[in-house]
Amino acid sequence: MKIDRTAETHLLAEEIRRKAGEGARIVFVSGNFNVIHPGHVRLLQFAAQCGDFLVVGVLETGQRSITVPGPARYEGVKALSVVGHACLLDMPLDQFILALRPEVIVKGKEHETRHNPESALVESYGGRLLFSSGEVRFSSLDLIEREYSSSNLSAILKPMDFPLRHDFSVGGLKGHLDQFSSLRMMVIGDLIVDEYITCDPLGMSQEDPTIVVTPIERKSFIGGAGIVAAHARSLGAQVQYLTVTGDDATAAFARRTLAGYGVDSALFIDEGRPTTLKQRYRAAGKTLLRVSELRQHPITPEIAGHILDRVRAEIAGLDLLIFSDFNYGCLPQPLVDAAIQLGREAGVPMFADSQASSQISDVSRFHGMELLTPTEREARLAMRDSESGLAVLGESLQRRAGARNVIITLGAEGMLVCPDPARDEPWMADRLPALNSQPKDPAGAGDSLLTCAAMTLCVGGDIWEASYLGALAAACQVSRLGNSPLDPEDLLRELDWA
């Protein structure tokens, strides 16, 4: 017996109206929701604020890119607390909209300049069509870092659904770790020394409203591109590191420490700058103040020439090249372009990150990389885009930078992985949640992710395996205070416990 879909649609609409309550302003969002990521959550949070009751229609679609069954996608949307009612729509979308007559329909910002068939429908009964990808919040790490806790590696939780979706086993990643020792690599970028000054709080000054502390311990760590090189060496690779320093005690500390890590370092001295030093004053488990001693002017053409000569001499023997840019002048664009050209001619895979905390960055200036790993803020700065959804943002960055893969890191929200669009498989962007929910120190998470993910790709892993192993490296890194080279035993232990 043939079912009257029109009657069924009106019955569903009436049920939703009753559930919403008399006089409630209904907001409607529809989509595939193949894998729910933070971009979806932001859109739905915005939509929920546009009315009294949020209705989400999960489309029953046969698109090749949709790999998760409809009922599973429906359950994922239904579980979100901002959603008043979720339904799996196996009926024409326009028919459902006319039956429900929502006061507001919300779509992602990327649809604003396209044809939207919902526009005529919503206007026919006096509703509104809005476009937004939700509010973007940028947090500053320069003055106050996130709260410290007493967590350790036991706080790492490894999601099993991500490996299942992408057909790999967590335990199988150990094979990639074993191959890291075969890699020969070079890291170019800004050296930073991080100094943690633990203080005893004395109280409030009686002369003015100032907190008074006294330092009781100082501990220094290698940071910036230096820790990328140290991570890689600790994981087994043969590493050359090229950077610029001042002629000072901080540079001497860095030289000794890198040598102790086994990194083959070439520290080119620029007498016109100090070695970058970042001091964190901490008390009672919190960072009170961060003071940075640095210069941001580009290095001289002479120093850039010395760095390029070293790249030219070594490039043929490398398996990968990493640009770790903190925008303090070590990587001016002419040097970057020339080094990229040498890498391209030698067929060496290249990877890059360009960090923006207090400084300005543009990660897209590293063109033709196998992988870029910006934060959301860094990706938006590069694209001059504060409105698009995360998946659209990642795809736009891939096109502009000619990058094969992009991982957008999202802090506590994890990461969004945007794979090579040329891959012959249905998966597009996918979300991997943060693996450590109680980090002690978020500093250095991105550096460990970049290092481990790049090395995984170079020993034959795909972007999904690289993302997972990189996320695990970051989870281990943030479980301790300060930047120390990754311990491969920590990674192996976590893979064994999966």
What digits encode the pLDDT tens for the residues 143-182?
A: 223 333 333 566 788 889 999 999 999 988 999 999 999 9
pLDDT at 463: 96
CA-based Rg of the chain, rounded to a whole angstrom? 25
pLDDT of residue 259: 96
Give all domains of the chain, ordered by start, each with its CATH number. 5-131 (3.40.50.620), 153-496 (3.40.1190.20)
Which residues lie across from 193 on neighbouring strands?
A: 222, 277
Residues with pLDDT less than 50, the chain: 1-2, 136-151
Query: In 10 A of CB 349, how many CB atoms?
Result: 18
d(CA 245, CA 261): 18
Where do we find the tokens 């890689």?
232
pLDDT of residue 483: 84
Distance CA 90, CA 58 (A): 9
Q: Give the SS3 label for residue 331.
A: coil
What pLDDT is recorded for position 360? 76
Give the pLDDT confidence score for residue 358 in this predicted structure. 61
Contact 341, 125 (CB under 8 A): no
Contacts of 340 (CB under 8 A, 6+ apart): 350, 366, 367, 368
Burial class, 360, CB count within 10 angstroms (exposed 0-12 / middle 13-18 / buried 19+): exposed
Backbone φ and ψ of 408, nearest 5°:
-95, 115
What's the mean pLDDT when you consider all of the chain? 89
How high is the pLDDT of residue 359?
66
Cβ-contact 451, 232 below 8 angstroms: yes
By DSSP bridging, strand 26-31 and strand 53-59 are parallel
Global pTM? 0.79
> What pLDDT does residue 217 have?
78
Q: Are 469 and 441 in contact (CB under 8 A)?
A: no
Q: Which amino acid is at 346?
A: A
Residue 185's pLDDT is: 98
